[in-house]
Amino acid sequence: MMAIIQAIGFFFGHGSGNYISIKLGAKDTLEASKMAATGFLSAMIVGFIILIFGIIFINPLAHILGSTNTILPYSKTYMKYILIGAPYMTASIVLNNQLRLQGNALFAMIGLISGAIINIILDPIFIFYFDMGIKGAAIGTIISQFISFCVLLIGSNVWGTLPIRLKDFSPSLKKYKAIIVGGLPSLCRQSISSFSTAFLNTSASFFGDAAIAAMSIVNRVSMFANSAIIGFGQGFQPVCGFNYGAKKYDRVIKAFYFCVKVSTIVLIIFAFIIFINSHYIVNLFNKEDEALFSVANRALRYQALTLPLWGLITLSSMILQTTRKTIRASILALAKQGIFFIPIVYILPKFLGLFGIEIAQPLADLFTFIISIPLGYSIIREMKIELKNNTKVT
């Protein structure tokens, strides 16, 4: 349920945020303000729709999301409270992305961190002190998310470039088309991750619980590197959007190459550390199960080999999405965890056994890297042509 809410939030957040950064670069503040209000309030409206239909169809929805009859009562309890928070949780993600893409990354970070810290404090209080169990965890989550929402809304209206005003809410086909163009890659990326995890667990289950647990360890370690590079790419997005809107394409190109170089160097260092210390890292998660250790150690080393490729993959996806090249950005967003990974993790283990599970993600990374080169370069080439044409006109 949280994944669905987050996917909707990122769809409206990136869709409106990319448009806003381009309009700010073009010095069209009025249009940017209208999109800020439209993206924010539209996400909140969709959040209310999720709340209403989620409560009405909570039983079938819980089963669709994987609940068994044993855990159904707990799932329903948790989902009921999470659904109550859906309107402001989706809107909160939109505010965070809009602030970041306006260049106000500091306050976007403060909004996120405030919610996370409060959640860490409230969860044990509700779960253990008030003995509310799963219900307490859900209540702690929606309270912390509401506080984060309030912090972000205040920050947007007081310190942001574009305060959210009801009078600026201007829903139109043009606005929603712009949101789809900028937000579809994020929706694809968020949606496919859940499916890829399900496929991985299903394929790994044929080799026992140790294989599932081992791949879970690899994913957790990889998440640190992925989060760092995603953060780096998100820092690039407002620079890209603003200068692209201002038609300063040379700055976009320089920023892109700089970010690719730095992120690749960081990932090479990170990969080297993981490769030579893989056994120590796996031991942090497991010290007893030898079968689990063996699988996780090998898989983590295979993954380390392709970590340096993530820089170009991520930055190519970011530049395509920010410059609103929807089809290319969506292909790249789906490639790593979907187009390549799902067929590989489904087919390869039938021929290579457990080894096929261990190398599935690295192989998907390699294929995604290969297609990211022409896809990423395509927008660079287009901007270079624009620069050349502008020079001739001048």
The string of pLDDT tens digits covering residues 19-35 is: 999 999 889 999 999 99
Q: Running DSSP on this structure, what letter comes out for residue 288?
A: S
Domain check: are 149 and 211 in the same one? no
pTM of the model: 0.83
300 part of a folded domain: yes
Domain check: are 159 and 90 in the same one? yes
Domain check: are 251 and 389 in the same one? yes
Domain check: are 106 and 212 in the same one? no
Please say if the pLDDT value at position 154 is more than 60: yes
Domain count for the chain:
2
177 part of a folded domain: no
* Mean pLDDT score of the chain: 90
Domain check: are 333 and 255 in the same one? yes
pLDDT of residue 122: 94
304 part of a folded domain: yes
263 part of a folded domain: yes
114 part of a folded domain: yes
Domain, as residue range, for 42: 2-171
Domain check: are 40 and 128 in the same one? yes
Number of H helices, E strands in the chain: 16, 0
Name the pLDDT band for 65 (thresholds 50, 70, 90). low
Name the pLDDT band for 37 (thresholds 50, 70, 90). very high
Name the pLDDT band for 149 (thresholds 50, 70, 90). very high
Domain check: are 199 and 153 in the same one? no
Domain check: are 150 and 216 in the same one? no
27-53 b/e (C-beta count within 10 Å ≥ 16 → b): eeeebbbbbbbbbbbbbbebbeebbee
Domain check: are 305 and 214 in the same one? yes
Domain check: are 157 and 217 in the same one? no
Domain check: are 125 and 12 in the same one? yes
pLDDT of residue 102: 85
- 321 token code pair: 């999405």
Name the pLDDT band for 231 (thresholds 50, 70, 90). confident
- 187 token code pair: 């929706």
pLDDT of residue 34: 95
Domain check: are 150 and 279 in the same one? no
Name the pLDDT band for 106 (thresholds 50, 70, 90). confident
pLDDT of residue 205: 82
